[in-house]
Amino acid sequence: MTDSLQPKENTKPLNDLSQLEADLAEASKARDQIRLTVLRLLKTALLNYKIEVGEDLSPQQIMSVLQKEAKKHQDSIEQYKNAGREDLVKEETAELEIIDEYLPAKMSQADLEKLVDEAIAEVGATSMADMGKVMGVAQKKSAGAADGSQLSAIVKSRLS
């Protein structure tokens, strides 16, 4: 099947907690322990952040929390690979796939390069001293669909 080769679409955008709670109930009924664990983790992270900011979360704030959770899993996968723990790599990868369902599809390398070029032109950047400005504009334009480390690498290559 070629479906697995296609980029994943954001099939379940989270604008509030209602979709997450519905998915939690569905996972519970299906007795899907991995999905249930991950969704509980996400709900807890979102509720903790909601308490921290003291108001309902905007879709951008929700996306930010989800991206932080995905980043934690990516970091764990890297650590487990370095330690030779393939069993834990497999587990973390499965959990990351569930989190990815709620994130926007990642941008291609060509799209990232185009985005960075537009940001450089918009800011009028000419040197590495302007990297922060370019990164800010590029991250805002990507709306969460770009990995910060990839953006950073492209910006560095363009400005140096």
pLDDT tens over the chain, length 160 residues: 333 323 344 456 676 788 889 999 999 999 999 999 999 999 999 999 999 999 988 888 888 899 899 999 999 999 999 999 999 999 999 999 999 888 877 788 888 888 888 888 888 888 888 888 888 888 888 776 777 788 888 888 888 8
Looking at the domain that runs over 9-100, which CATH code has it been given? 1.10.1510.10
CB of 43 within 8 A of CB of 24? yes
What residues does each domain of the chain span?
Answer: 9-100, 109-159
Please state whether 31 falls in left (phi above 0), alpha (psi between -120 and 50) or beta: left
d(CA 160, CA 155): 8
The fold of the 109-159 domain, in CATH, is: Arc Repressor Mutant, subunit A (1.10.10)
pTM: 0.72
